[in-house]
Structure 1
Amino acid sequence: MLPEMPAVYKQLLDQLDAGIHIVDRDGKSLIYNEKMSRIEGMNKEEVLRKNIMDIFMFASEEDSRLLQALKYGKSFQSEKQTYFTFKGKEITTINDIFPIEVDGISAGAVEIAEDITKLERMARRKRNDSLRFTFERIVGESIPLQETVQRARQAARTNSSVLLYGETGTGKELFAQSIHAESPRASGPFIAQNCAALPESLMEGILFGSVKGAYTGAGGQAGLFEQAAGGTLLLDEINSLSTPMQAKLLRILQEKTVRRLGGTKDVPVDVRIIAVLNEDPLTAMQEGRLRPDLYYRLSVVSLAVPPLRERIRDIPVLSRYFISLFNEQFQLSVEGLAEETAYLFHAYEWPGNVRELEHIIEGAMNMMHDTGRIEPYHLPGHMRMRFSKEKPRPAESDEHPQKSLKEHLEASERMYLEETLRRTNQNVTRAADMLGLSRQSLQYRLKKLKIQRPDTAES
């Protein structure tokens, strides 16, 4: 047992500008100075002679550094810890914690705490200022998009890992930010890292942290896993990591601890992982860019973000959104898309997806003055050329007149409708939904363009 501390020493502890909390070998509080009382917002009478598991809201004993010091004889230096009191107050401190032994026998543990709660909240607000998206800001009405949003909302309710995959420009980070913003971790940090942005020699230190002297010029610093504690870590293009790095990542996910580069101890981490792939994960596994065991660990929830060509009915609403956005930025009054431009947008395949649509509208509006509609001649050259290419034909004459823009557009529309019907196995209802049209409107266009369908097709 710890000997009773003289009253004069207790008075001295109350004068210190550091929180002091000492527990006995049973985890009951013996010393709780004035500074610690102010940090945690509790009176001494609410703490002394009570077990710390009754005072603080820990999921288990392993979450309490004091109990770990007491139970396993561990010491912690400059350990950042966020926790809740039984009153529901969130506290963040930097702690030095070590066990106390008397005659070689464990007698208790002591915690010396520095309060950084206000600093942590300010840093958290600053980190989350970069969050621009929530589910309410996801633009689109198509069935494929709305189904993905619904699944993502369901995933947001838990702490399970999420794997987002889709083509470049589909809005995967938009979904990742929205999941975080609607999750129980919304008040925690959201940190995003593109795994292909830096050499792997630097990436390891950034992700896992390092101790001072681990490599030339290395200072002791926490990695992104520690920085994202209590929040969400987004790892983009995770398939760009080497196989050994993926193995290290898998170990962290399984053990929920991280060891800094050059370090000798494992640090517990509480972080949700959202991984992002710009390709189908099955293809990435088959071609050796993604470890199967890592895939199965990450894909507790797996969400495919649909490409723009599968959500054609969203093009008008997305176009209006981007036009409004750039009207405000450029101080313009552009009214919308001209009819010919709208036809071109529906017929285009959009390999760059929503990002390409955004950039094309931005580029077109740079070519405009104050008002008007976006005409085909405002569009970038590659898009205009895409719809001006024709098969070789004889030199122009009265017998071979050059096609008008209307004829070009009708030919492009015919090809696009035929391709959509082919993709939907001639199902008019599904094709109409993909095109953002009513069933009656599509049937009218098929009749107008004289597009024939097999007798076995849905009528």
Structure 2
Amino acid sequence: MQKINFNSMDYQGLLEAVFLAAQDAISVVDEKGEHILVNPAYTKITGIEHDDIIGKNALYDIEDGEESVHMKVLSTKKPVENTKLKLKPSGKTVVAQAAPINVNGEMKGSVAVLHDISTIKDLTDKLEEAEKKLREMTYKYKPEDIIGSSMAINEVRNLIEKAAKVPATVLLRGESGTGKELFANSIHAQSSRSHKSFVRVNCAALSDSLLESELFGYDEGSFTGALKGGKKGLFEEANKGTIFLDEISEISLNTQAKLLRVLQEKEIMRVGSNKNISVDVRVIAATNTDLAKAVKEGRFREDLFYRLSILPIKIPPLRERKEDIPLLVKSFIAKFNDEYGRNIVDISDDALVILKAHDWPGNVRELENIIGRAIIYMNINERVIDTIHLPQLDTNKIQNIVKSVISTDDAGVTSLDNVLNKAESEYIYNVYLRFDKNKTRTAKELGISLRSLYYKMEKYGIS
């Protein structure tokens, strides 16, 4: 390699050209820690003009509380590597490296090079946000979030474990507030698709045309306002994962036909396209209506109904699993303690009597709301939920029922469970007699399934 010789003027000019052209920000301070030299990249990254920084202390260009690499070099007389700093006034994040300037064995100052990592940080933040959304999309409930030990909930839990092992379509049937999304999440979380997306769609919340474009996507120019390049539909987003179609009864017959095609052919066609796209998606649908009745009335396609009903699972209403109320209340107390910053430790027996005697038309969601409101009503020094904190419920009426049960029991009823069991037993027996021992009509009047009625009659010895 040929050696190039520079005279002193050439060398000084070369150094100055390199200094000014460098993409990384460079700053130099003297032995007192005052800026004596900066390059254009420095003024760009800090937002400080050249003449405004010269003569200023090394702490001038960094946020309060940050440690200056220049001052560290001057105090230790050693180089400093890869120190993360936040600049002012620009607010940009940099990684700084600094080294001492020694002339004839004497330290005359410090030189620092600043690498702008704001763009990298922005990308990292966006990546973390995307990963967070993906985790939320994957599933927000876990199998252990299914609270309860009743026979009714254990039966559902067993069905869900079986459903998770196969890719069959599942139809969840249950009243509003029973937690159908929780059970759908649980199926996905226990399945082989758990590492892929869980996409929830509220079919009742979107118009027919919007629902179609959301489910199946669209091509560019397919309608006014369509995005350039088109858009993936939710079936594509859920590929290899699970799509949860909540309120499935609310979709139009036209969209039902297209959904049926997806289930049969495992293909979708975007709005405005004639190209088929293969998808591998596990479908879980949910409804709070009688789909069989909707089929008879012509509001729901019979072929789609049978496609969806390969594995039907009925979620029991809370009135059929009242023995789970104490465990549910405990979980809600823990949840609201965390959300509201409270320290509620328990619920009184009297309050539990009130809760167990209520019919719960809004199911678990209603119970959650009532516990949340009760905690809000409580004074900051109160630790136990009592009947006074449950003004939404007709506590006087319920307490009178319980008192009447206790007063008519010669042996005395001492425990909470005995009180409630005695009240439930007498109520079921009275309804049973009122309908001339017709079990179907009795179950309908009580708002429970025929199977639950048989279980309760056997439990209480009603014949």
- Tell me the C-alpha RMSD between the 2 structures: 3.3
Question: Could you tell which deviates more after superposition, 276-285 or 339-348?
Answer: 276-285
Cα separation, 2, equivalents of 1:123 and 1:269: 23
Question: Please, which of 273, 277, 280 is the counterpart of residue 263 of structure 1?
Answer: 273
- Structure 2 counterpart of 1:377: 388
Query: Residue 242 of structure 2 aligns to which amino acid in structure 1?
Result: T
Q: Percent identity?
A: 40
Query: Residue 377 of structure 1 aligns to which amino acid in structure 2?
Result: I
Q: What does 1:284-433 align with in structure 2 at a 5 Å threshold?
A: 284-369=294-379, 370-381=381-392, 383-384=393-394, 387-388=395-396, 407=403, 416-421=424-429
1:202 equivalent to 2:215? Answer no
Per-residue displacement from partner, 1:186-223 (whole Å, max 9, x unpaired)? 11111000001111121111011000110001120010
Cα separation, 2, equivalents of 1:285 and 1:432: 29
Alignment TM-score, normalising by the size of structure 1: 0.61
Change (3 A) 1:409 1:335: farther
Cα separation, 2, equivalents of 1:305 and 1:331: 32
Cα separation, 2, equivalents of 1:339 and 1:367: 19
Question: Please, which of 219, 239, 242 is the counterpart of residue 252 of structure 2?
Answer: 242
Cα separation, 1, equivalents of 2:294 and 2:128: 39
Shift of 1:406: 6.6
Question: Please, which of 198, 209, 234 is the counterpart of residue 224 of structure 1?
Answer: 234
For the 8 Å contact 1:166–1:278, the answer to whether it is kept is: yes
Change (3 A) 1:327 1:158: same
Query: Residue 384 of structure 2 aligns to which amino acid in structure 1?
Result: R
* Corresponding residue SS for 1:235: strand
Question: Please, which of 200, 217, 236 is the counterpart of residue 192 of structure 1?
Answer: 200
1:144 equivalent to 2:161? Answer no
Number of matched pairs: 307
For the 8 Å contact 1:360–1:379, the answer to whether it is kept is: yes
Query: Residue 299 of structure 2 aligns to which amino acid in structure 1?
Result: R
For the 8 Å contact 1:170–1:308, the answer to whether it is kept is: yes
1:128 equivalent to 2:139? Answer no
For the 8 Å contact 1:165–1:281, the answer to whether it is kept is: no
Change (3 A) 1:415 1:405: closer
For the 8 Å contact 1:388–1:408, the answer to whether it is kept is: no
* Corresponding residue SS for 2:268: strand
Change (3 A) 1:124 1:266: farther
Cα separation, 2, equivalents of 1:193 and 1:245: 14
Larger radius of gyration: 2
Cα separation, 2, equivalents of 1:377 and 1:344: 11
* Corresponding residue SS for 2:344: strand
For the 8 Å contact 1:344–1:409, the answer to whether it is kept is: no
For the 8 Å contact 1:165–1:277, the answer to whether it is kept is: yes
Change (3 A) 1:432 1:142: farther
Cα separation, 1, equivalents of 2:234 and 2:223: 18
- Structure 1 counterpart of 2:100: none
Cα separation, 2, equivalents of 1:135 and 1:432: 29
Gapped regions of structure 2 (runs ≥ 5): 1-125, 408-418, 443-451
- Structure 2 counterpart of 1:174: 182
Gapped regions of structure 1 (runs ≥ 5): 1-118, 391-402, 443-452
- Structure 2 counterpart of 1:215: 223
For the 8 Å contact 2:150–2:321, the answer to whether it is kept is: yes
For the 8 Å contact 1:192–1:235, the answer to whether it is kept is: yes
Query: Residue 151 of structure 1 aligns to which amino acid in structure 2?
Result: L
For the 8 Å contact 1:145–1:306, the answer to whether it is kept is: yes
